[in-house]
């Protein structure tokens, strides 16, 4: 009976992963999809703990250690998830993803020591799993540090050549180990060290608008590394989960690159947004920006026919998504059509703005992808930009010297009026000044997004 229950548990777990991933594609079913996939993972974990038999016919054993680790991990993970602010969500995603890469790396290390004479095929899987898992772990930790401001973007002189040398070292050491030319443990650990160094140098120069792409790519790395772990343990659930994460992360990465009009190679080598030079610079030639009052903003928006809201990281910083939804509902009551223009790389992780607005119960049909939002801009009376910067920067279309040149943007200037809410005139995450702020159609509305939106709602209610 046990021989049937374990494979059946793995089959159910694999099916729930696929169903959960499908359900995650829409906000209305995303939460349920998360629970479905979590149920499948829980089932697979406990089935493995109690029913798995090794080649020697014995179970896992070590139950006190296993359950102590499960309890500690569950408590820490739950507390972290409940306490994290929406602004810190990208850092948490990077950190958790890094832990997944570390687990895949440790699996390879453990299996290498548990198999004194592994086959060539197993050794290939062990080495590849360790390399990819280590790169994912090191890169994710650097991404975590960069996102929370503890690590600054650094372009190392000759970094590309150093990376090529590291790649050469990884290949040479792997061939030595897999080909049987050396059985020294130091060769194995040399691969681990070189992979960790490469993971650090790989992510260190990347910043600005490329961070969501890098997070997505690192996520796919972790999935691939986990799939190798599934091969090692002949575990279908681990294999299925790893393949799903790896393929989904890769597809998302390529879609985001396409939306940015850049190749993945250009993202990784070009260090998009890391350079702080080039692009529009605030100077006297640009003229002065115009400020607009709360009362004037409320009046323009209340008597508009169509308003488009462009959310950015500043909206997350201010925790203003609920106030934004309240403004949207009030405008709707006054007969104004309100939509949201969502840029693929707005925020600091894939889908950051979608998650942010879903938290405030903003209807999904009001969220327009960049192409659809741009199609509607000529018929839009007012665009309200809330904390977005680089994704509306005209330099991406007009300034060949800008680091973001060639990236598709939300073409807000096609609307009648553009109102930009920011705390100050500081540049965005890519470190590039935005000439949009000085254009004739643009007015600046300074202040904390949450307070500004709450005051706008108060002003409109009095009209």
CB 178 within 8 A of CB 122: no
Provide the 8-state DSSP code for 345.
T
Long-range CB pairs of 285-288 (<8 Å, 24+ gap) are 286/435, 286/438, 287/438, 288/438
Helix axes 159-178, 185-203, angle to 10 degrees: 150
Return the half-sphere exposure (C-beta side, CA atoms, 13 A cut-off) of residue 300: 20
Angle between helices 63-83 and 89-114 (to 10 degrees): 160
**CA 191 to CA 133: how far, in whole Å?**
12
Query: Measuring CA to CA, which residue among 257, 197, 250, 198 is closest to residue 224?
Result: 250
Active site residue 390: yes
How far apart CA 273 and CA 397 sit, in angstroms, is: 15
| H-only helix segments in 86-158 | 89-114, 120-147
DSSP β-bridge partners for residue 310: 385
- Neighbour count for residue 457 (Cβ, 10 Å): 17
Sheet hosting strand 337-342, strand order edge to edge: 367-369, 337-342, 306-311, 382-386, 417-422, 442-446
Annotated active-site residue in 153, 234, 361, 390: 390
What is d(CA 243, CA 285) in angstroms, rounded to the nearest whole number? 53
Q: How many residues does the chain have?
A: 463
Q: What is the full DSSP assignment across 257-283?
A: HHHTT--HHHHHHHTTTT--SSSB---
DSSP state, 437? Answer: G
Q: CA dist 455 to 293, 324, 385, Å?
A: 11, 11, 16
Place of tokens 């992510």: 203
Residues designated as active site: 390
């Amino acid at each position: 009976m046990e021989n049937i229950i374990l494979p059946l548990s793995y089959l159910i777990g694999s099916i729930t992963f696929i169903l959960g991933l499908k359900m995650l594609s829409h906000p209305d079913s995303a939460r349920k999809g998360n629970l479905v996939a979590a149920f499948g993972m829980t089932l697979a974990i406990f089935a493995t703990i109690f029913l798995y038999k090794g080649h020697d016919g014995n179970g896992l054993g070590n139950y006190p250690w296993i359950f102590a680790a499960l309890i500690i991990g569950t408590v820490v993970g739950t507390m972290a998830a409940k306490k994290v602010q929406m602004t810190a969500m990208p850092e948490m995603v990077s950190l958790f993803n890094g832990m997944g890469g570390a687990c895949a790396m440790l699996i390879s290390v453990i299996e290498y020591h548990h198999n004194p004479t592994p086959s060539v095929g197993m050794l290939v899987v062990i080495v590849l799993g360790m390399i990819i898992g280590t790169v994912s772990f090191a890169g994710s930790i650097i991404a975590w540090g960069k996102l929370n401001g503890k690590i600054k973007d650094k372009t190392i002189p000759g970094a590309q050549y150093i990376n090529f040398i590291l790649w050469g070292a990884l290949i040479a050491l792997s061939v030595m180990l897999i080909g049987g030319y050396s059985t020294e443990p130091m060769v194995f650990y040399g691969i681990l060290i070189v992979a960790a160094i490469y993971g650090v140098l790989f992510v260190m120069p990347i910043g600005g608008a490329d961070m969501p792409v890098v997070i997505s790519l690192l996520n796919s790395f972790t999935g691939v590394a986990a799939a190798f772990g599934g091969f090692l343990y002949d575990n279908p659930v681990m294999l299925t989960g790893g393949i799903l994460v790896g393929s989904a992360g890769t597809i998302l990465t390529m879609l985001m690159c396409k939306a940015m009009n850049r190749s993945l190679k250009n993202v990784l080598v070009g260090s998009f947004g890391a350079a702080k030079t080039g692009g529009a610079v605030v100077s006297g030639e640009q003229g002065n920006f115009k400020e607009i009052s709360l009362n004037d903003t409320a009046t323009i928006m209340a008597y508009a026919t169509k308003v488009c809201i462009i959310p950015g990281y500043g909206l997350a910083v201010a925790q203003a998504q609920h106030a934004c939804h309240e403004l949207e509902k009030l405008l709707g009551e006054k007969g104004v059509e309100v939509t949201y223009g969502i840029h693929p790389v707005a925020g600091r992780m894939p889908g950051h703005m979608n998650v942010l607005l879903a938290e405030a119960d903003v209807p999904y049909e009001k969220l327009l992808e960049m192409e659809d939002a741009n199609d509607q801009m000529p018929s839009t009376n007012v665009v309200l930009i809330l904390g977005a910067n680089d994704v509306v920067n005209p330099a991406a279309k007009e300034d060949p010297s800008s680091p973001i040149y060639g990236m598709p943007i939300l073409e807000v200037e096609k609307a009648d009026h553009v109102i930009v809410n920011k705390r100050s005139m500081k540049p965005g995450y890519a470190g590039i000044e935005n000439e949009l702020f000085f254009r004739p159609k643009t007015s600046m509305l300074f202040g904390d997004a949450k307070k500004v939106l709450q005051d706008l709602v108060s002003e409109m209610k009095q009209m």
